[in-house]
Amino acid sequence: MDEMLRRWKAAFDGHRVEAMADLFTPDALFQGFGPRVLTGRDAVRAYYEAVPDNRSADVALLHTYMIGQEAAGGFAHVTFRDPTGWEAPVHLSLVLQLSAGTWRIRQYHVSRISIEH
């Protein structure tokens, strides 16, 4: 999970959309800030293409767990930022799947943290 989050952060911070999409399984489920659940790498690619390229993410791993030999899950605290002062703290949950010796994101979900809740 640590390695996946490092790769995800590097791709996000560098606005490397192809590298980001490659982190996901071909049929991944993805819930970002938008109202719809997206499916597949093409949808993930399109989502990240729309993210302004001046944004970065600070990531802190909170918890991981195994789901058998070829799946794992975890939670992280992520704060998305840009140079204008905009920031969005979220909890990120991931399910990873091992396929052909490579871990990929099978399920991705962010939940925005609100101080009002």
Q: pLDDT tens digits, residue range 28-50?
A: 999 999 889 999 999 999 999 99
Model-level pTM greater than 0.75? yes
Domain boundaries, given as residue ranges, for the chain: 2-112
Q: pLDDT tens digits, residue range 105-116?
A: 999 999 999 876
**In this model, does residue 78 exceed pLDDT 80?**
yes
Average of per-residue pLDDT across 52-63: 97
The percentage of residues in the chain with a pLDDT greater than 70, rounded to a whole number, is 98
Give φ, ψ of 70 to 5 degrees.
-120, 20
Fold (CATH) for 2-112? Nuclear Transport Factor 2; Chain: A, (3.10.450)
Beta-bridge partners for 57: 80
Query: Other C-beta atoms within 10 Å of 39: how many?
Result: 13
